[in-house]
Amino acid sequence: MATKDFGAIETDYAFFMSHATEAKSDVQEYARKLADFPDGRTGIHLLDFGCGTGEFSQQLLEELAWPKSALTLTLFEPVDHQQELAASKLSRFSDHAIASLGEASYDRRPTFDLIVSNHVLYYAEDLAQTIDQLLERLAGQGRMLLAMAGYENALIKLWKVGFDLLKQPIPFYVAEDVADCLATHNLHVETSSAGYQIRFPDSEENRWKILRFLFGDYLRQIPRDELLREFDQYVQNDHIVIDTFSQHFDVQFPAQK
Ligand X SMILES: C[S@@+](CC[C@H](N)C(=O)[O-])C[C@H]1O[C@@H](n2cnc3c(N)ncnc32)[C@H](O)[C@@H]1O
- Cα–Cα dist 151/70, whole Å: 38
Q: CA of 100: how far to CAs of 6, 8, 59, in Å?
A: 18, 22, 20
Minimum CB distance to ligand X, residue 187 (Å) = 20
Minimum CB distance to ligand X, residue 133 (Å) = 10
Q: Which is nearer to ligand X, 6 or 200 (CB)?
A: 6
Under 8 Å between Cβ of 83 and 77: yes
Minimum CB distance to ligand X, residue 48 (Å) = 7
- Cα–Cα dist 56/75, whole Å: 13
Q: Which is nearer to ligand X, 84 or 202 (CB)?
A: 84
Q: Which is nearer to ligand X, 17 or 202 (CB)?
A: 17
Q: Which is nearer to ligand X, 71 or 127 (CB)?
A: 127
CA-closest candidate to residue 143, choices 13, 1, 251: 251
Q: Which is nearer to ligand X, 55 or 250 (CB)?
A: 55
Q: CA of 187: how far to CAs of 2, 141, 233, 254, in Å?
A: 27, 12, 40, 6
Minimum CB distance to ligand X, residue 257 (Å) = 35
Q: State the residues that interact with ligand X by CB under 6 A.
A: 4, 6, 49-52, 55-56, 76-79, 82, 118-120, 123-125
CA-closest candidate to residue 143, choices 121, 125, 117: 117
Minimum CB distance to ligand X, residue 180 (Å) = 18
Q: Which is nearer to ligand X, 2 or 235 (CB)?
A: 2
Minimum CB distance to ligand X, residue 64 (Å) = 15
Alpha helices in 19-120 (DSSP H): 22-33, 55-64, 80-90
Q: Taking the CA atoms of 49, 50, 54 and 58 in sequence, report the sign of the dihedral they define.
A: negative
